[in-house]
Amino acid sequence: MYAIDTLTDSLAVTKRYLGSLGVGGWLKVALIVFFIGGIGLPTYFFNIPFEAIGPLLDDPDALLVVLLIGAAGLAVYGVFRYLAAVLEFIFVESLRSEAIHLRRYARANLGRALWLLLFRAVLWIGLIVAIGLLVAAAFVLGDVTDPAELSSEAAAALVLSGLGVFVGWLAVYTLTTAFVVPIMLHQDRGPIGAWRRFAPVLVSNWSGLLAYLLVAWSLGFAFWMMFAIVSFVVSIFGLILFVLVTVLLGQIHSSLAVVSIGLFLLAYLAYQYVIAVFETPLRSYVRYYALLLLGDTDEALDLIPDQRAAVRSDGGSTTSAERSADHGQRETADWGAVGSARGVDTENSDAASLERPAEDSPVWEGPPIWDDLDERVEGDERSHSSESAWGSGGDDSSSWLDSDTVRDGEATAGDDADANRADADSASENTESGDIDSASKDADPGNEDQGGDRSRD
């Protein structure tokens, strides 16, 4: 189930990657795949008649020419292999960033590519030496000098041994490309240091890595078989067309036959590039499978944490251009979660603040309005009593207010106080705290006027 989930996640991440690149980015990555997979020149370009070269070896000058040509060919091959090593790191960086910037990524990985080229050269030399030792052991142990003298058992043992050595070499080469190269890029290590860092992963999850090798080799073989058939058909028509063009140009001028060879090479390279365009999704899928497996085994070696989190939460439907918008939505959702935890509806908070009824207004924390009115009424009564005493000169018999008048004034003041309390209640229910203060201030002149009227009465 774990392997199946990883395969499914790899497919989702590949869809995100190709969708982020677009058509132009896809064509650039296809150029990388074109060089990484090798140009794939047909073998008949190298069908050199070595029996014709034999007599030339006796001539020192001819031998020097042959050595120079061989050295030049080897140098050209080394340049292409170094370019392929640089493009390996560019491809991994593109998978990690879901973008493609050839010059920027190339400048940052020139040194690593040189070390990778040397390491791969050592692997190739090791393969040649191992097979040579097996052949030598078969001849020495069998005590024969002619391959025809080998017994069937010795020949079978030699073939099986050679096949085992090749499979082991291919496993090391594949693991280097799929896992060691990303570690070199991620932790800025050399190939030997990256292999040391990869060794614990290999030991702890050998079954997962074995499954990766089976998947990678199976998909590669299926793709090779499919396009081998297509290439066979295309090559037949291509050769026929090449002969016709060569004859036609030869009829025009004999020197134009070289042009037909150039056109044939261009057509062949164009065909190989078309194959690389179709191979790009498959190679991206296999590489993403390796990166997911590497990160699942050791989190410190996870090169694609964002892609991993995305495909395992939303099925990989978002692209790198949409992740910034998703980040803003996640921040909004986080604020909403905080508001929900506080019991606040964040979506309708503004509308609720506008539509809040009067009873939801802030509560007046001061003393009730009627308490202030009571104090003011009592103050008016005390001032009224003092004025009466001053006007009588302290003589009760000469007072110009009789007891009936005082009682009438007190009853009137009580009725006015009740009315003021009712007005204050109405004001506290329909206005804010500032309006309440204003209403309180408006109520004072009325009381003073009433007190003055009572004094005049």
Residue indicated by tokens 């036609």:
248
Element (H, E) at 237: helix 206-252
Instruction: Provide the 8-state DSSP code for 362.
Output: P
Contact of 227 with 242, CB cutoff 8 Å = no
**Rg (Cα) of the chain, in Å, rounded?**
47
The alpha carbon dihedral of 292, 294, 299, 305 has a sign of negative
Each residue's pLDDT, cut to its tens digit, for the chain (457 residues) gives: 456 778 889 999 999 999 999 999 999 999 999 998 754 444 334 444 445 555 555 667 777 877 888 889 889 999 999 999 999 999 999 999 999 999 999 999 999 999 999 999 999 999 999 999 998 888 887 777 777 778 888 888 889 999 999 999 999 999 999 999 999 999 999 999 999 999 999 999 999 999 999 999 999 899 888 888 888 888 888 888 888 888 888 788 777 777 888 888 898 899 999 999 999 999 999 999 999 999 999 999 999 999 988 888 754 444 434 444 444 444 444 434 444 444 444 444 444 444 444 344 444 444 444 444 444 445 554 544 444 444 444 444 333 334 444 444 444 445 555 555 555 555 555 444 444 444 444 444 444 444 444 444 3
- 201 vs 293: CA distance, rounded Å: 10
